[in-house]
């Protein structure tokens, strides 16, 4: 007897496509910002790059405000308790403001030491600090927007977040060259434009909360519950960061050509991860709602349905990029040495797309179920047993990009075994409005 229930493909895509727009908006804005600042010269561009790396590392560790909030909100929404679902968004917003203010204060204190540690005490570090001190003013606003994305995804509204993010980033992209060149603010103009984008987006998310007419007072118990889920997601994120920073470090120690080739393929990997992650967001929202509504059949059906979509999309992307193997790398570089190194990573990148499609989809399923502790353990185990040993063995034995990307393959395959096994077990399918 069939024990699963599907949803329409239109409904999945209706959640996934706008979510992809939100995920892609920030990287696209960064490209615009980089292009504008690049015309100021090498020093401001280097300062932007270094400051951006520091700020990105901070925000990356705090994505639980989006993903954790979605998991909790979706269950309440599925149980027909919309007001309580939105109230989770209120508490996530208070939490984002509190954490963001802490990031702002610590960031202002540590901006110079961090930049100096990464780039020394020269002009590049000074430029990074000048950009970072202004950009940090937007840290609480970034986290408010993350919280807003989280609760809106949970109530299955991914269209409004797209509008809000595009409004902020679109205004900022138009303002950026005016501030940088028109008002001659230089690199500081780039930072101000960033804060403008964050202010507009955060303001729109706050307005969306106000019109819901739910209580706005902080509830410490609810925030503590969100932090418990956030702890597991932060540890999981730190595992990812340890792997990819180590990979970049080993590639840099291999050769200039190797690190350049690694950067090209890794950026393509990161971009396609956004595409696949949009399906995970749809899965998270739909699975959480089904479990919150007490419908285990639908939760299981959505899990395997979205996994099938992820596999199909991953196969399609793999075929596409296999066909582009000779052409696309030349859009990034004409250096013969770099082009010679790229195939060592390229075919791993191609072959892993179907695996990534399944893994990211099931990550979304388990996140929607609130199974963050399992995902934390699975990710850290895969990193410790697969990716990291092979990365550092690559340095010791001179395996280069072949060793690094073998490590990534081992990492993904171990995660695949873990999430497929967990999903098949059914232990994640805990019913109820709150897990």
* Whether residues 209 and 241 fall in one domain: no
* Whether residues 197 and 48 fall in one domain: yes
Q: Can you give the pLDDT at residue 139?
A: 93
* Whether residues 255 and 345 fall in one domain: yes
Q: What angle do CA 320, 326, 329 make, to 5 degrees?
A: 90
* Residue 433 in domain: no
Q: Sign of the CA dihedral 237, 241, 244, 250?
A: negative
* Whether residues 71 and 161 fall in one domain: yes
Closest by CA position to 149, among listed 30, 63, 270: 63
* Residue 211 in domain: yes
Q: Residue 148 belongs to what domain range?
A: 9-218
Q: Can you give the pLDDT at residue 198?
A: 95
* Whether residues 166 and 269 fall in one domain: no
Contacts of 417 (CB under 8 A, 6+ apart): none
* Residue 1 in domain: no
First to last CA, the chain: 28
* Whether residues 63 and 94 fall in one domain: yes
Q: In total, how many domains does the chain have? A: 2
- Alpha-carbon distances, residue 109 vs 28, 104, 133, 191 (angstroms): 30, 9, 9, 18
* Residue 431 in domain: no
* Whether residues 125 and 184 fall in one domain: yes
* Residue 231 in domain: no
Please tell me the distance from the alpha carbon of residue 150 to that of residue 154, in angstroms, as a whole number: 6
* Residue 229 in domain: no
Closest by CA position to 310, among listed 268, 273, 354, 274: 354
* Residue 95 in domain: yes
Domain boundary among 190, 218, 246: 218
* Whether residues 208 and 119 fall in one domain: yes
* Whether residues 252 and 373 fall in one domain: yes
* Whether residues 145 and 34 fall in one domain: yes
Going from the first residue of the chain to its last (435 residues), give the mean pLDDT of each consecutive group of 10, the final group possibly shorter: 72 93 87 86 84 80 87 93 94 95 94 81 85 94 95 95 95 94 94 95 96 93 86 88 83 82 85 91 94 93 95 96 92 84 93 97 94 94 94 89 93 97 94 78
DSSP 68-90: HHHHHHHHHHHTT-HHHHHHHHH
Q: Can you give the pLDDT at residue 1?
A: 43
Closest by CA position to 284, among listed 350, 229, 235: 229
Q: Can you give the pLDDT at residue 256?
A: 80
* Whether residues 149 and 241 fall in one domain: no
Q: Can you give the pLDDT at residue 258?
A: 85
* Residue 354 in domain: yes
Q: Can you give the pLDDT at residue 249?
A: 79
Q: Can you give the pLDDT at residue 385?
A: 94
* Whether residues 139 and 279 fall in one domain: no
The full length of the chain comes to 435
């Amino acid at each position: 007897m069939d024990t699963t229930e599907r949803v329409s493909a239109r409904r999945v895509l209706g959640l996934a496509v706008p979510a992809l727009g939100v995920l892609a908006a920030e990287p696209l804005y960064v490209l615009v910002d980089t292009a504008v600042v690049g015309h100021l010269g090498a020093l401001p561009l280097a300062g932007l790059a270094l400051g951006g790396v520091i700020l990105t590392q901070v925000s990356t560790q705090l994505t639980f405000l989006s993903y954790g909030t979605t998991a909790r909100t979706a269950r309440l929404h599925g149980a027909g308790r919309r007001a309580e679902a939105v109230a989770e968004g209120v508490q996530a917003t208070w939490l984002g403001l509190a954490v963001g203010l802490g990031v702002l204060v610590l960031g202002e204190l540590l901006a110079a030491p961090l930049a100096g540690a990464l780039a020394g005490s020269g002009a590049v570090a000074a430029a990074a600090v000048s950009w970072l001190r202004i950009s940090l003013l937007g840290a609480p606003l970034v986290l408010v927007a993350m919280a807003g994305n989280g609760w809106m995804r949970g109530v299955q509204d991914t269209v409004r977040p797209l509008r809000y993010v595009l409004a902020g980033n679109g205004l900022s992209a138009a303002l950026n060259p005016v501030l940088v060149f028109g008002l001659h603010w230089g690199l500081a103009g780039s930072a101000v434009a960033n804060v403008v984008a964050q202010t507009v987006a955060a303001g729109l998310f706050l307005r969306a909360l106000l019109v819901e007419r739910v209580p706005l007072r902080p509830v410490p118990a609810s925030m503590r519950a969100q932090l418990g889920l956030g702890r597991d997601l932060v540890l999981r994120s730190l595992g990812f960061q340890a792997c990819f920073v180590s990979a970049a470090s080993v590639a840099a120690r291999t050769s200039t050509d190797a690190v350049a080739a690694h950067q090209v393929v890794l950026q393509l990997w990161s971009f396609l991860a956004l595409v696949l992650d949009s399906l995970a967001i749809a899965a998270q929202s739909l699975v959480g709602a089904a479990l919150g509504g007490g419908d285990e059949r639908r939760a299981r059906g959505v899990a395997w349905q979205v996994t099938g979509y992820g596999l199909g999309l991953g196969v399609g992307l793999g075929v596409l990029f296999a066909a582009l193997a000779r052409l696309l790398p030349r859009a990034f570089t004409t250096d013969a040495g770099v082009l010679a190194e790229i195939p060592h990573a390229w075919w791993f990148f191609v072959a892993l797309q179907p695996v990534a499609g399944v893994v990211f989809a099931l990550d979304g399923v388990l996140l929607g179920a609130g199974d963050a502790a399992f995902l934390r353990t699975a990710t850290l185990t895969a990193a410790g047993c697969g990716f990291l040993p092979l990365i550092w063995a690559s340095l010791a034995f001179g395996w280069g990009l072949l060793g690094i990307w073998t490590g990534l393959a081992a990492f993904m395959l171990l995660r695949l075994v873990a999430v497929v096994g967990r999903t098949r077990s059914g232990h994640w399918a805990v019913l109820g409005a709150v897990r």
